Amino acid sequence: MKDVLSRIGIGSATVETILPTDTVRAGESVQADIHVEGGSTAQDIDAVYFALETEYKSDEGYKDAIIDQWQLTEPFTIAADEERRFETTIDIPRETPVTTRSTAVEIETGLDISMAVDPGDEDYIEVEPTHRTQAVFDALDSLGFTLHSSSCEATAGSLFTSSASFVQEFEFRPQHGEFAGEVDEVEIVPVFDDDDRLTVYVEVDRSGGLLSEMTDTDERHTKLTIEAPKPDADAVEPQLEDRIRELS
């Protein structure tokens, strides 16, 4: 009877991931301790696996997205009430979305158990932008813009040089400075390419009046490329300022 119950998750082995911090920068790593505790009967564990997940908006509604997934262990057997511990390094890909009020990222840990419900553990983490993306944010702040909203949205790859199923878009609005009253908002989409460069796609929405807004003629697009791994915001600011000025 215990074997039957464990197959449907009652009295089964459990897994828990313990992180030293819940904040990590995209493109960097975090150490993790994994605790596996046996249930009421011995079980064969095919693998301990991880998945880094978020969700994005598409025409069909919100969809789950696996940013990365990997396997930690080879098959092993855990006895009833036995405790096993593993240590690992979790790499957070540079294209991992930045967490905001509307964007969440989680690490899912699971046990792969044949003929049974896979037990798991979910840990939400705070993801900070890469140094390149942070430099863009800081440059926009210096130009008088503040972040208004962000969202992950589906992309077919026709506009962005990325094979990913989604991109993250950030919307900034001017609060002071040269562009206040001239620009409604600036939207940016950071995309890393295969050459380890960051391409920032920029859309400028001008304050052009109701008619131009209704016909979308107030929107213009451009892009800039950032190659330095840890650029100074002061170096990014004039590039961004020129592009916004050209389109505003």
Check whether 201 has a pLDDT greater than 90. Answer: yes
Q: What is the pLDDT of residue 40?
A: 86
Check whether 237 has a pLDDT greater than 50. Answer: yes
Check whether 11 has a pLDDT greater than 90. Answer: no
- This prediction has a pTM of 0.87
Check whether 104 has a pLDDT greater than 60. Answer: yes
Question: 77-87 burial by CB neighbour count: b if 16+ within 10 A, else e?
Answer: ebeeeeebeee
Q: How confident is the model at residue 159 (pLDDT cuts 50, 70, 90)?
A: low
Q: What is the pLDDT of residue 248?
A: 83
Q: Choose among 122, 119, 103: nearest CA to 111.
A: 119
H helices of the chain, in order, are: 2-7, 131-142, 210-214, 233-247
Extract the tokens encoding 168.
């993250």
Extract the tokens encoding 141.
């702040």
Q: Choose among 53, 81, 84, 55: nearest CA to 67.
A: 53
Separation CA 236–CA 136 (nearest Å): 7
User: Does CATH place domain 2-128 in 2.60.40.640?
Assistant: yes
Please state the domain extents for the chain. Answer: 2-128, 131-247
**Dihedrals phi, psi of 196, to nearest 5 degrees:** 65, 30
Check whether 9 has a pLDDT greater than 70. Answer: no
Percent of the residues in the chain that have a pLDDT greater than 70, as a whole number: 85
Chain mean pLDDT for the chain: 87
Q: What is the pLDDT of residue 12?
A: 82
